[in-house]
Amino acid sequence: MTQAPTPSTTAAGAQAPAAAASTPSNVIRVGYARVSSRGQDHAAQLELLNAADCRDIVEETISTRRKDRPKLQATVASMKAGDTLVITKPDRVARSVKELLVFLEDELAPRGINLHILTGICAGTHRPNGQTMSDKMLFLVAAMAAEMERDLISERTNEGLDAARAAGRVGGRPVKATNDVLAAARARRERGQSVTHIARELGVGRSTLYRALKDNDPGSPMA
C-alpha cells in the first residue's frame, strides 16, 4: 500500500502545509482499475488514478461478460464509511446503467462509501450522504430505482392476492412468485444476499421464494 508523503519541515522546525491539506487524514481514497483481457494493460487508468491522490490502487483483469469482480468486492468490503472509491469511468465497475445503480444502492450506500468518477458525463465525487443534490444525484437515482422495484413487485403481489380472493382462494399456499420477483431474486443472490434478506426486501414469503428459486433452478444451492 502506498503511503502518503511526509510533510516537509522548514529550517525553523515548523512543518510546511501539506499539499492535500483539504483532505481529512482519516479518509482513504482507493483507486480501482479493470481491463477485460491479459492482452490489455492498466496504464491509462493507472496514470489517471495516480494523479487522483489515491492511497492505494487495485488492479483487476477480468472479462466484461463476468458479473463477479472478486478484487472489487474485496476492496469495497474493506473500506469504511467516508472512504472514496475512485474509478476512471463507470464501466470499470458495471456492465450497464442498471448494474451501476445496483452497485451504488447495494454495495456503496449501505457502507457510506463515496464514488469518484474521473472522466465522462458523470465525472465528480458522488456521496450517499452528500449535502447538495449534485453530490448525491447518482445515489438518489439508485435509491429511486430500488424503491420502484420494490413497489412494483409489491403491487403485482397484491394484485395476485386480490385475484385469488375474488376466485375464493383465501389462505393456504402463498401466491407463487412471479417472473419479475424471480429475476430480481436471482440478481440479488448473485450479489451474495441470503434468501431471507431477499424475501424481506421483495415483500414475499421466504418459503415461497425459496421453493420458487429451487423449482426454477434446481442445480443452484440455496442460502
Q: Helix, strand, coil % (nearest 5) of the chain?
A: 45, 10, 45
Decide if 67 contacts 190 (C-beta within 8 A): yes
Q: Which residue type occupies 128?
A: P
Q: Which position among 8, 36, 194, 207 bears the catalytic label?
A: 36
Q: Could you give the CA distance from residue 219 to residue 223 in angstroms, rounded to a whole number? A: 13
- Residue 117 pairs in a beta bridge with 87, 124
CB atoms within 10 A of CB 4: 13
Q: Could you give the CA distance from residue 89 to residue 72 in angstroms, rounded to a whole number? A: 14
CB atoms within 10 A of CB 129: 12
Decide if 205 contacts 177 (C-beta within 8 A): no
Element containing residue 85 per DSSP (H, E): strand 84-87
Active site residue 207: no
Which residue reads 474521473 in cell numbers?
118
Decide if 10 contacts 64 (C-beta within 8 A): no
Helix (H, G, I), strand (E, B) or coil at 2: coil
Active site residues: 36
